[in-house]
Structures are given as structure tokens and as C-alpha cells.
Amino acid sequence: MFDAHCHLDLLDDPADAAAHARRAGVVGILIPGVLPEGWAKAQALAATTPGVWWAPGLHPCWLGPASTEADLLSKLEAAARSGAVAIGETGLDGRTAVAATKVHQQRMLRAHLALARDLDLPVILHVVRAHEAALRVCREDGLPAAGAMVHGFTGSAELAVRWAHLGCHLSIGGPVTWSPSKKRIAGIRAIPAHRLLVETDAPDQAPDPWRRDGEPGAPAMLPAIIRAVAALRGECESAVAVQTADNAANLLRVGQTG
């Protein structure tokens, strides 16, 4: 199993969480970046923990003032050249985007896409309530040849098909266990097998029953997400585990250590 989006660096005891996940059968974890202050820790975890990789990125909800863009993008490029396997997470979030912020988010998304193309790395996309705008930017600018993933996908079948047609992988997380709507179930079923990924987004979006108990997410919870995805798609749980792990390893061009 491969956790395609896990903020391992934000957990209380990352080493213990990684070890627990490995005992649960998780052989790969990708740590996405959200702020420059966290990149060094993610890089260190990847360097010292088997099966862990990292990506620097600037989360659209925490971009800071536009006046700092040039400095942030310079730091992003330097970090990406230091052993990263992807760029992100980046994207658009309509929950917080006032007019000026929308422009800022789109400008930074375009910069991440450009850097990913230049460095031949896949890009990790965060898209919430902004799929039309994000699809438009990705079509206009072009995704990196190395590929992309839309993390935490909860969209419709129509959106799943459009993202997949563009060349994106779609990653399913803990909400799949939260009594998903008919629209979301159809979306999960519409993802082509070779584009399907799974994630915990830990410590956020813990699957049930941990969420109901108020526990934060952890990569060891990935089997519960795979179980739910397999059930909704009418597929074998072990087949989904293998398929999604292979998809993640191929997208990120990394080996599996288990």
C-alpha cells in the first residue's frame, strides 16, 4: 500500500507513525509541502525513513502576501532540486478565495506548474470548490509530462473523467468512509484503474471509525480507506491495494520498499 498524500511531518511522532504504518502494510508515503518552514523536516524524514518521499509546495490557503512571491518561488525551486520527487501541494481553494486571493492562487499555481515542467516532476494539486478554474489553468498552461495528482478527490463522475482525460491521477482519502453521497460514489467508480490513488491526508480527514472518536489521521489507517474504495468499486481489496501502490510508485518514479 502507498499513502499518496500524508503530512507525516505534522504528526506528533513521525518516526513512530511511519513504523506503525509499515507494520500495517504501508510501504510508501509521500509528504507534500505546504509552507517553506516545513520543507526541511519533510526532507529529513525522507532521507532517514525507508519508503518515505517528499515534495515542496505552497498550499493555496497559506500563500502569504503577494509581495513575497518571488522569494518563495526561488526557495521552492532550490528545495525541489534537493531530492524532491514532486512539486506541491499547490492549487486553488474556493473556500477562502476573495477576488484578489483568486488571482494570487492562480498565479502561484501557474508558477508551480511551470517549475514542475522545467524539472520534469509530477505536481500535486489541491482543488476545493474550484475545479472549473483549476481545469482551465491546467489546460491552458499544460501539466508536466511527468504527470499530476488531484489529491483528496471527492468530485463527480464527470469531473473524474475530465481530470483523467487531462492526464491526472485522482487520490481518494478518508471521506470515502464518511457515508459518501451518490455523486461521490459515482466519481470514485469513474476513475480509471491506472489513475487511482489512495491517501490519508494525515493528520486531517481521518477515516471512520477514528474520525467519530476524535482521533487524528495516521498513515496506518490507509487499509480502511482501501477497503472502502474496493467495496464501492466492486473490486478485490488486495487488487486495489496493489494497483494504487503501483500507480503511486510509477507516478513518482520511486521504488517500493516492501
pLDDT score recorded for residue 66: 82
Query: CA-to-CA distance for 61 and 204, rounded, in angstroms?
Result: 15
pLDDT score recorded for residue 64: 82
Query: CA-to-CA distance for 30 and 194, rounded, in angstroms?
Result: 18
Question: Which of 152, 147, 239, 257 minimizes the C-alpha distance to 195?
Answer: 147
Q: Which class would CATH give 2-252?
A: alpha beta
Query: Which secondary structure element, helix H or strand E, spans residue 170, and what is its range?
Result: strand 168-172
Residue with cell 495516521: 218
Three-state DSSP class for 148?
strand
pLDDT score recorded for residue 256: 63
pLDDT score recorded for residue 209: 96
- Residues 115-137 pLDDT 10s: 999 999 999 999 999 999 999 99
Question: Which of 201, 129, 123 minimizes the C-alpha distance to 159?
Answer: 129
pLDDT at 214 over 70: yes
Beta bridge partners, 173, equal none
Is-contact 146 116, C-beta < 8 A?
A: yes
pLDDT at 257 over 80: no
Backbone angles phi, psi at 133, to 5 degrees: -65, -40
pLDDT at 99 over 70: no
Mean pLDDT, rounded, for 211-218: 97
